[in-house]
Amino acid sequence: MTNVLLEKKGNIAVATINRPQALNALNSAVLTDLDELVNVVRADSDIRALVITGSGAKAFVAGADIGEMSTLTPAEGEAFGKHGNDVFRRIETLPIPTIAAVNGFALGGGCELSMACDIRICADTAVFGQPEVGLGITPGFGGTQRLARLVSPGMAKQLIYTARNIKADEAYRIGLVNAVYPAEELLPQAEKLANTIAANAPIAVRACKKAINEGLQVDMDAAVVIEEKLFGSCFKTADQIEGMGAFLEKRKHEPYQNK
């Protein structure tokens, strides 16, 4: 993975999109490396939370690579969109929680990558947007779908139709990000959040992610059945026995073992 760097730090990992000369723009090679990142993270049971950020001080991901896209035919454009959507869907459905630490421009594909993560936090210098209609195309990596689900259909339509970029404070106001930090504090805060998540019972955390994500796609009657089954699946795990035992014995639980 030459375009994505992965660093493990105990039970968390930090993935950095590493194409700073192009403001970390997403071309086919970067998408392929992100796909491989998913494979690596899925294969490592020690990783309980993943932070995704961009290299350099200017950009998280400035967008998809316009140079690569400019000559595509309609069929090639559709295939490029499918490549991005397939990769982002794999990130979205990773069993473990993911945190986008947005350190700068998150435009087009960069905004879409952040939205494929469970949680978004950003630097006070971050800028978000879906500028595609200003280039004669639509968002192609899930922007028309996830933005409307995360903020509101009306707000998503306004941002997409106008191709207007928004700063960190507005992204926070509309609910696109959970928190805004000074740039130098962003990654430490992202790692702190990831470590807080990783300290909880991993089987239960993964079950919560699955319940939320799958439940949002069905009606409430079906959603509560998903929750009931995942709730039941946690019982008799070693971590459930230790966690409840420690509570009843009024002691601090031992580190969870992910089993």
176 and 215 inside one domain: no
CATH number at residue 96: 3.90.226.10
222/217 Cα distance (integer angstroms): 9
Which residues span the domain enclosing 9?
A: 4-198
Residue 227 lies inside a defined structural domain of this protein: yes
User: CA–CA distance from 162 to each of 91, 156, 159, 176 (Å)?
Assistant: 28, 10, 5, 17
231 and 118 inside one domain: no
pLDDT tier at 69 (50, 70, 90 boundaries)? confident
**Taking the alpha carbons of 216, 220, 221, 226 in that order, is the dihedral positive or negative?**
positive
48 and 8 inside one domain: yes
Residue 59 lies inside a defined structural domain of this protein: yes
35 and 158 inside one domain: yes
CATH number at residue 220: 1.10.12.10
233 contact partners, CB below 8 Å, separation of at least 6: 203, 207
Residue 83 lies inside a defined structural domain of this protein: yes
Residue 24 lies inside a defined structural domain of this protein: yes
Residue 51 lies inside a defined structural domain of this protein: yes
Q: What is the pLDDT of residues 239-256, one digit of tens each?
A: 999 999 999 999 999 999
213 and 175 inside one domain: no
Residue tagged 């794999």 (tokens): 90
Q: What is the pLDDT of residues 222-238, one digit of tens each?
A: 999 999 999 999 999 99
103 and 218 inside one domain: no
Marked catalytic residue, from 36, 78, 92, 132: 132
What pTM value is reported for the model? 0.95
Query: Of the candidates 210, 213, 212, which has an alpha carbon nearest to the alpha carbon of residue 233?
Result: 210
Marked catalytic residue, from 78, 92, 112, 228: 112
155 and 76 inside one domain: yes
pLDDT tier at 210 (50, 70, 90 boundaries)? very high
pLDDT, residue 68, reads 86
Domain total in the chain: 2
99 and 173 inside one domain: yes
13 and 102 inside one domain: yes
pLDDT, residue 31, reads 96
User: CA–CA distance from 243 to each of 165, 192, 203, 225, 239 (Å)?
Assistant: 45, 22, 12, 24, 6
The DSSP-derived string for 193-223 is HHHHHHTS-HHHHHHHHHHHHHHTTS-HHHH
Mean pLDDT, residues 185-191 taken together: 98
Burial of 182 (0-12, 13-18, 19+ CB in 10 A): exposed
Residue 258 lies inside a defined structural domain of this protein: no
The verdict on whether 112 is a catalytic residue reads yes
Residue 57 lies inside a defined structural domain of this protein: yes
Residue 259 lies inside a defined structural domain of this protein: no
Cβ atoms of 181 and 53 within 8 Å: the answer is: no
The verdict on whether 68 is a catalytic residue reads no
235/74 Cα distance (integer angstroms): 51
130/214 Cα distance (integer angstroms): 26
Q: Residue 106: enclosing H or E segment and its boundaries? A: strand 105-107
Query: How distant is the alpha carbon of residue 69 from its chain centre?
Result: 24
117 and 101 inside one domain: yes
Among 159, 183, 198, give the residue marking a domain's end: 198
202/204 Cα distance (integer angstroms): 5
